[in-house]
Chains A and B, each alone.
Chain A
Amino acid sequence: MEALFSMTTGVLAACGLFLALRGRTFPVVVGLTLLSYAVNLFLFSMGGLDTGGAVVLDDKGGSHADPLPQALVLTAIVIGFAMTAFSVILAMRARGDLGSDHVNGNRVDEPREERS
């Protein structure tokens, strides 16, 4: 199970990074969102993968899933949303003001990055 979980985070991170390296803003935003899923899963797993662990403290005092990564990831999810929103609207603004949706703000007909 651990191997499968790790593979999943790895694949998601790879896909997210691949998109983040694209030249147009929208795939980059999608890539960042994908990357943030991978990061959240990764961080969450730092507390171990508990199946059926106790979630709230009851009087029986059973084994409790690690709450600290959960608390950190919870805020990370919300902040991740704020970041996605900010970057996508920045992209819209860039398109409105520059007339291009290339990350470098280039015109479509003169891409600078093409050299490499």
Chain B
Amino acid sequence: MSVLLIVLLPLVGSLLPVMGSNDRRGRCALMTAIPPALALIVAGLHAGTVFAGGVPRAAFDWIPALGLEFAMRLDGLSLLFVLLILGIGLLIILYARYYLSPKDNLPRFYAFLMLFMAAMLGIVMADNLLLLWFFWELTSLSSFLLIGFWYHQSEARKGARMALTVTGAGGLCLLAGFLLLGHIVGTYDLQTVLDSRDMIQADPRYLPALLLVLLGAFTKSAQFPFQFWLPHAMAAPTPVSAFLHSATMVKAGVFLLARLHPALAGSEAWLYLVGLTGLATLLYGAYFALLKYDLKGVLANSTISHLGLITLLLGLDQRMAVVAALLHILNHATFKAALFMTAGIVDHETGTRDIRKLQGLWRAMPLTATVAVIAGAAMAGVPLFNGFLSKEMMLTETLETSLLGGLGWLIPALATLGSLLSVAYSIRLVHNVFFNGPPRELPRTPHEPPLPMVAPGLLLAALCIVVGVMPALTATTLIDAAARAALVGPVPELHLAVWHGFNLPLLMSAIALIGGTVLYVQRRHLFAFQRQFRIQNARLNFEAAVQWVVRGAQQLIDTLENGSLQRYMLWLVITILCLVGGTLTHTVQLRGPLPLQPLDGLLVAGALMAMFAGLATAVLHRRRLVSLLMLSIVGLVTSLAFARFSAPDLALTQLAVEVVTMILLMLALFFLPQRTPKESGAPRILRDALLAAGFGGIVASLNFAVLTRPLESISQYFVDNSVPGGGGHNVVNVILVDFRGFDTLGEITVLCIAAVGIYKLLNRLRLFMPSSDADGRPWSKDRHPMILVSVSQTILPLALLVSVFIFLRGHNAPGGGFIAGLVTAVALILIYIARGVDWSQRRLSFQYQPIAVAGVGVAALTGLGSWAFGYPFLTSSFGHFHIPLIGDVELATAMLFDLGVYLTVVGATLMILANLGKLTTPHRPSKQKEKA
């Protein structure tokens, strides 16, 4: 498990610096350095195993359902990167301690740095594609924080945003690519994916997966045409640039190419996509590095160029090229980190990074100049420095590639040109700044920085020489182990040596060195040539592109979401039509195998009535009262339909609800306009009618398709267990109060909430009360007709009796709490209508809110009651009791629950209607409140 520590230590360590203070910077730096140092020791302890061919691994499940495992492995490739990240990371911690000014918040900087370091370690050690992607995104985010560290500078903010946009978008492509790979292979486990090369490359999804993964890698590694973000990321503090653009961030992309090399490489597509992209980037970066005046700009473009070189090597179809790429990753990290550090020192000590102002600094800062000379020589590929080794290997491999076929000679020629440019900008960087005559007037008088600030650079420069002089002793083992992980099958034997004898690559090297020097001397011609071009500022272009996208999105949103609810409804319906209609077209035949049942006259009459009334409701909708009356016909026919098709419970419920709904809508209509003005034009009517017809057609087709197919219902369970389990013969009621009692509890709660919401909506509502109907006829003076009064008062006790009867028999015969509650409510509302709110309110002096709430309470308590007896929530029990005079009675606790339902229905219905009715009287809810 100790492998996990390598990632977890820096991750936890990102919290440590926050506890330190900005005043005691030395201690803060020390505290920060401890976790990565420990992690480095852990990695070192595992190195022996890795060199011997072992792969230490540790894993635990994270989200198994998604195939996400927190798995870490340490193979040769991981080890190479772990050593680079931690080693250079430690040097950066030391360097940053002296680089950042006292005004900068050092603990915050260290926290971001450690987070980034942990994310990088996660990428290189992840043994699961999804986990790798997770850390990949974490590097994008934490590098955003680091690049934007000086957030008071607009340049830093914009550079950070650009880097995040480009690498974040690439990260999403990468995720898509990983998901495709996971689907092809069937797992996200890295080793399985790497072992499934043939399966992956034979799959038709290989090409899209490859493209997506490459998009992720190329954006991260700033490959052409995504290279534009990297120079703008130079707005970061130099320690960040030194870390991100030497050993880490941009190396993540080439790491990914190396990591997935066993699974994805070897195809024509890989060779051309990766190889040519790398070559283009190599030349682009090298050319522009030569032209930049900003010290860090030169380094940024040279980084692009060297990343292109590594990508080119990984793309080539020779096995040795991959080894060369790995070696160059190591070499580039050392010399580029050292060069960034010297650039930071020069900036720090002189106050400028402009090459035109700097010269002759070697007198003032000999140590820094030494570092720059050594690292620069390594970058140029001068013999005896480490860059020479990988450059020689690169030139050798380009000679042997099959890329471009007959035009294959272009590759080594262009590679030589790249090396030549590389020599030229390296000389320019070192010679221009540190030599080239006596120093000029500068913002600050330059002098050597404190030794700890130069020390990291010196150490790296020493490494450049040691590896360059004795490659076989130092780098071979590590590179060999890394190559084992990045290649399938045996690794070509690595002969690292400074001298290979006189051969073609040596000649190309010599051409590059001499040509580069000549180019540097004659550089003013090149600069004059370049001045004829208009300068393209990538940042401005990028900002313009972002603005363009935002504008486009805004326009699209404005078109789709114009603030009209009707429009949203339209979109919803169209979506439904497309989705469901599209599925229906796949059905072979609408009609199923079941025989159709015969029709009879009554059915036809009922159906025609419902359809006619439904159409009338729609057509006459502008005459609201007529429309409402038509609606009530539909409701009644629906109720009859339930009765006809063996559902008496539903018929009773529908009938009672129909009554309260109509009363409610009539009351509401009293306060709303009686007529709807003509608003919609003919095209709109036609559009809506067509949509509605389509919708109706789909509903009818679906319904017919289901009705004519055999039914497989789970209802038999309820039918079988209703008597033995629930003690009731009315299965519908037993389902409501027992089997699915929890659902019912939820539903009466919703009913109660709706009633409470309505109560609040009616509070302090003032509405215009018309004194006449739509045709101008005044309301009748006789507000409480005699017959209605007499009937309603006579009916009330009868209705109450009926509701008690319906309630009691509900468990065994059609009925139950819902229906009984509605019957009671209708009877009470009839009194309100007949006698008016004032009269009724005096006699029915209780509040309805507590009744509804009590109903929910009773139902919930019944459920809780079963806990007291050690049963799960809402377990019901029942028994037979003998009551004198009445006889045998079966009582169930479910009946108590049903009582809760009853109370809720009565309370909620009356709460809605009685409160609405009060609006017609001076006793408006608001006034009542004021009295209380």
Q: Residues of A at under 8 Å CB distance from B? A: 1-27, 29-31, 33-34, 37-38, 40-42, 44-58, 64-68, 70-71, 73-75, 77-86, 88-93, 95-96, 101, 103-104, 108, 111-116
Contacts and interface: CB of A to CB of B under 8 A. Distances in A.
Contact of B707 (A21, A45, A80, A86): A45
B747 A70 contact: no
B905 A78 contact: yes
A15 B646 CA distance: 26
Interface in B319-345: none
A15 B603 CA distance: 21
A79 B750 CA distance: 8
A26 B628 CA distance: 10
A109 to B, nearest CB: 11
Which secondary structure dominates where chain B touches chain A? helix
A115 B736 CA distance: 49
B803 interface: no
Interface stretch (B237-245, B366-374, B381-389, B615-623): B615-623
Interface stretch (B76-84, B98-106, B152-160, B557-565): B557-565
Q: Which 9 A-B pairs have the closest CB atoms?
A: A14-B696, A10-B700, A67-B731, A18-B692, A53-B646, A65-B646, A6-B704, A82-B754, A15-B618
Nearest to A9: B703
B744 interface: yes
Interface stretch (B109-117, B310-318, B493-501, B604-612): B604-612
Interface string B613-643: 0110110011010011001001100100110
B695 interface: yes
A79 B731 CA distance: 21
A42 to B, nearest CB: 6
A74 B732 contact: yes
B551 interface: no
A66 B717 CA distance: 11
11 contacts: A14-B693, A24-B677, A30-B617, A37-B635, A49-B707, A67-B732, A74-B732, A83-B754, A90-B761, A104-B563, A112-B562
A6 to B, nearest CB: 4
A18 B668 contact: no
Given A1-B596, A1-B599, A24-B676, A45 B564 contact: no
The residue in A46, A71, A112 that gathers the most chain B C-beta atoms within 10 A of its C-beta is: A71
Contact of B736 (A74, A95, A108): A74
B611 A8 contact: yes
A9 B700 CA distance: 6
A44 to B, nearest CB: 7
B649 interface: yes
B700 A70 contact: no
A88 B624 CA distance: 14
Contact of A57 (B621, B650, B722, B767): B722
B654 A77 contact: yes
A60 to B, nearest CB: 12
B596 A21 contact: no
A106 to B, nearest CB: 9
A84 B661 contact: yes
A8 B607 contact: yes
B665 A29 contact: yes
A11 B614 CA distance: 7
B643 to A, nearest CB: 10
Contact of B644 (A13, A51, A75, A112): A51
A55 B707 CA distance: 20
Contacts of A46: 706
Given A18-B692, A21-B573, A9 B699 contact: yes
B249 interface: no
A86 B634 contact: no
Contacts of B818: 74-75, 78
B754 A33 contact: no
Contacts of B654: 40, 77
Given A37-B634, A47-B711, A17 B695 contact: yes
B703 A44 contact: no
Interface residues of B, number: 114
Contact of B703 (A42, A68, A81, A83): A42
A27 B621 contact: yes
A47 B696 contact: no
Contacts of B708: 2
A77 B650 contact: yes
Interface string B704-723: 10111001011100110011
A85 B755 CA distance: 8
A44 B761 contact: no
B811 to A, nearest CB: 10
A33 B634 CA distance: 10
A89 B731 contact: no
Given A3-B596, A21-B566, A74 B650 contact: yes
Given A1-B599, A2-B704, A66-B711, A81 B566 contact: no
Interface stretch (B683-691, B776-784, B788-796): B683-691
A31 B679 CA distance: 17
Contacts of B573: 17, 21
A71 B736 contact: yes
A29 B570 CA distance: 16
Contacts of A24: 673, 676-677, 679
Contacts of B699: 9-10, 13-14, 38, 42
Contacts of A26: 624, 668-669, 672-673, 676
Contacts of A7: 607, 611, 700
Contact of A56 (B596, B641, B813, B909): B813
Interface in B258-282: none
A86 B762 CA distance: 11
Contact of A92 (B610, B628, B672, B908): B672
B426 to A, nearest CB: 64
A92 B765 contact: yes
Interface in B554-578: 562-567, 569-570, 573
A81 B624 contact: no
Contacts of A8: 607, 610-611
A44 B634 contact: no
Contacts of B731: 56-57, 64, 67
A18 B598 contact: no
B645 A51 contact: yes
Contact of B653 (A4, A67, A77, A95): A77
Given A1-B603, A4-B603, A44-B645, A86 B695 contact: no
Given A22-B680, A73-B647, A74-B649, 17 more contacts: A6-B704, A14-B699, A16-B618, A24-B679, A37-B635, A50-B645, A55-B646, A55-B648, A57-B722, A68-B714, A70-B732, A75-B818, A81-B657, A84-B664, A91-B668, A112-B562, A114-B681
A61 to B, nearest CB: 9
A89 B668 contact: yes
Given A1-B599, A15-B692, A21 B646 contact: no
Contacts of A6: 700-701, 703-704, 707
A41 B567 CA distance: 28
Contact of B762 (A10, A34, A66, A89): A89
